[in-house]
Structure 1
Amino acid sequence: MSSTATPADEPYVQLERADGVCTLWLNRPRQFNPLSEAMMGALEEALADIAADSSIRCVVIAARGKAFCAGHDLREMRSQYRKDYYQTLFARCAALMQSIVALPVPVIARVHGVATAAGCQLVATCDLAVAAEEARFAVSGINVGLFCATPSVALSRNVGAKNAFDMLVTGRFIDAPMAQDWGLVNRVVPAGQLDAAIAEYTSSICAKSPAAIRHGKAMFQRQRQLPLADAYALAAESMACNMMEDDAAEGIDAFLEKRKPVFRN
């Protein structure tokens, strides 16, 4: 991947679609793909389009250049020294992250290089994450006098409280194997195998019932925020609704008849 300057008229996010998979490439490699206002705007637009497109079965968030994402654009932030600006900026980033959670299809982070601050938040927000062996992760705002409060929300929902707080108050980087051990990423592979590992996930997901995946993601994300009894009530209703889908009938019949199911697109 090239790390040369990106022309100003190049899109901040490049979209690639193939076989039900939409890949969103963060496309400001020279700046290490910061979540600037323009980058967030491009992601917001792309995610809104994907949410309305029933042909999309899975989303991959990837990045051009040497890094995945360096977090917020600090130069842009310092140019607007007003509390109301920062309130709007961080609320917008929070809404962007929540739109990934709310997306009806799985979202996979394809991570190489560094993912820092809001970039680490982006990885933690995705449903799945695959990292190259050389990838590194940090919530390093504390090193410049800024506690990574909004990244801490997603981070602490992926890794244990003590590990999350360790990262937040020290600003230290963790390597990819440690990120996997702590639960921040699912798999770590050599850089040359990153695309193949992503393809294993996307092909597996796309082979499943679209209705079941959509029911499942919505339920899974919601139940995590609920007390135990409420979570079971939600899960039971989700399964009952899922059972009424044609795909569930087809899948169960195919299992009983010892044949491969044919799910509806």
Structure 2
Amino acid sequence: MKSYQLIRFSVEDRVATLVLKRPPVNVMNMEMMEEIVDALSSICKEENLHALVIRAEGKAFSAGVAVEDHMGDKTEPMIHLFHKMFHRLIEVPCPTIAVVEGAAIGGGCELATFCDLVIATDQAKFGQPEINLALFPPVSVVAFPWLTGLNRTMELLLTGETISAGKAYEWGLVNRVVSPEDLEATVGQLLDNLRGKSALALRLTRKAVREAMASSFASAIGKVEQIYLRELVYSDDAQEGLHSFLEKRPPVWKNC
């Protein structure tokens, strides 16, 4: 398989594994996202895969997208590249499984919860804190109402609060919560289950479910992206939120 700098990617025994490896907390910069897109693209035509597992090295699944890539000339290329990852995830022909240890925050939360199945340890955390920077997470704006309903989506996105794996399970963002000691056995059992199924049936079942979502996702993410890029990210408050984060100071909102 192709070698990457910021991820590890392999295919073995009908399972593809993509590991984020940008310590300490796997903040996704544009180079990392390009590698993820490339890796996902490489298996989009593979018909005999039974699963894609996405996990991470280190103390967090991912703390999100690099704040500096939200600014200046990087903003629009970054958001297009970020969304390209999710289009590729829809195109992957096999079930996708996120294995979450530690925090999945911001873009990391979006990446994990967009997978078909999410297994998390009881120490994992999930959150979309973008509102604290006067931003919103476009993928979660589109996907979370499918996963957890309108009211819970609004609570997560408007408060920016981080929730436990247990609450994420209750709210439908996570499939299973296990102890760290039981994580590998749980993942192994799930993969054994999927390997026992017809790859064709897995692929077409997933395709059928995702097709229902894909058309609305493609349409909605384009509209949400335009609100994000044309109305929000270059606003005074969003720029203040980004700069205050990088400068490690409280934001001073113009529209408070």
1:20 to 14, 31, 41: 14
Give the secondary structure class of the aligned counterpart of 1:115.
strand
Give the secondary structure class of the aligned counterpart of 1:51.
coil
CA contact (8 A) 1:139 1:168 kept: yes
**Residue aligning to 1:249:** none
Give the secondary structure class of the aligned counterpart of 1:188.
strand
Give the secondary structure class of the aligned counterpart of 2:148.
coil
Q: After superposition, what is the alpha-carbon deviation per residue over 1:23-44, rounded to whole angstroms, capped at 9, x for unaligned?
A: 11001022x1122111111111
CA contact (8 A) 1:33 1:67 kept: yes
Distance (Å, rounded) in 1 between the aligned partners of 2:27 and 2:53: 18
Distance (Å, rounded) in 2 between the aligned partners of 1:215 and 1:184: 23
**Residue aligning to 2:241:** none
Distance (Å, rounded) in 2 between the aligned partners of 1:196 and 1:155: 28
Q: Relative to 1, partners in 2 of residues 1:35 and 1:209: Cα closer, same or farther, differing over 3 Å?
A: same
Give the secondary structure class of the aligned counterpart of 1:184.
coil
Give the secondary structure class of the aligned counterpart of 2:126.
strand
**Residue aligning to 1:254:** none
Give the secondary structure class of the aligned counterpart of 2:147.
coil
Residue range with higher mean Cα deviation, 108-117 or 69-78? 69-78
**Residue aligning to 1:39:** 32
Residues 133-148 of structure 1: pairs in structure 2 closer than 5 A? 133-148=122-137
Q: Which runs of 5+ in 1 are unaligned?
A: 1-8, 228-265
Aligned length: 214
**Residue aligning to 2:227:** none
**Residue aligning to 2:102:** 113
Is residue 205 of structure 1 aligned with residue 198 of structure 2? no
**Residue aligning to 1:66:** 59
Q: Match of 1:132, as an amino acid?
A: T
Is residue 50 of structure 1 aligned with residue 39 of structure 2? no
**Residue aligning to 1:122:** 111
Q: TM-score w.r.t. structure 2 length?
A: 0.78
Residues 68-217 of structure 1: pairs in structure 2 closer than 5 A? 68-78=61-71, 81-82=72-73, 85-217=74-206
Give the secondary structure class of the aligned counterpart of 1:157.
helix
Distance (Å, rounded) in 1 between the aligned partners of 2:167 and 2:93: 29
Q: After superposition, what is the alpha-carbon deviation per residue over 1:168-194, rounded to whole angstroms, capped at 9, x for unaligned?
A: 011101100110010001000001211
Is residue 220 of structure 1 aligned with residue 209 of structure 2? yes
Distance (Å, rounded) in 2 between the aligned partners of 1:224 and 1:72: 24
Q: Relative to 1, partners in 2 of residues 1:75 and 1:171: Cα closer, same or farther, differing over 3 Å?
A: same
Work out the percentage of aligned pairs sharing the same amino acid.
Answer: 30
Q: TM-score w.r.t. structure 1 length?
A: 0.76
Greater RCO, 1 or 2 (C-alpha within 8 Å, sep 6+): 2
CA contact (8 A) 2:124 2:164 kept: yes
Distance (Å, rounded) in 2 between the aligned partners of 1:63 and 1:102: 22
Q: Match of 2:173, as an amino acid?
A: L
CA contact (8 A) 1:101 1:127 kept: no
CA contact (8 A) 1:60 1:109 kept: yes
State which structure, 1 or 2, has the greater radius of gyration over its C-alpha atoms: 1
Q: Which runs of 5+ in 2 are unaligned?
A: 217-256
Distance (Å, rounded) in 2 between the aligned partners of 1:214 and 1:10: 27
Distance (Å, rounded) in 1 between the aligned partners of 2:47 and 2:208: 18
CA contact (8 A) 1:33 1:63 kept: yes
Give the secondary structure class of the aligned counterpart of 1:42.
helix
What's the C-alpha RMSD, in Å, of the aligned pairs? 1.9
Distance (Å, rounded) in 1 between the aligned partners of 2:81 and 2:69: 15
Distance (Å, rounded) in 2 between the aligned partners of 1:59 and 1:225: 18
Note the C-alpha offset of 1:118: 0.9
Distance (Å, rounded) in 2 between the aligned partners of 1:94 and 1:172: 23
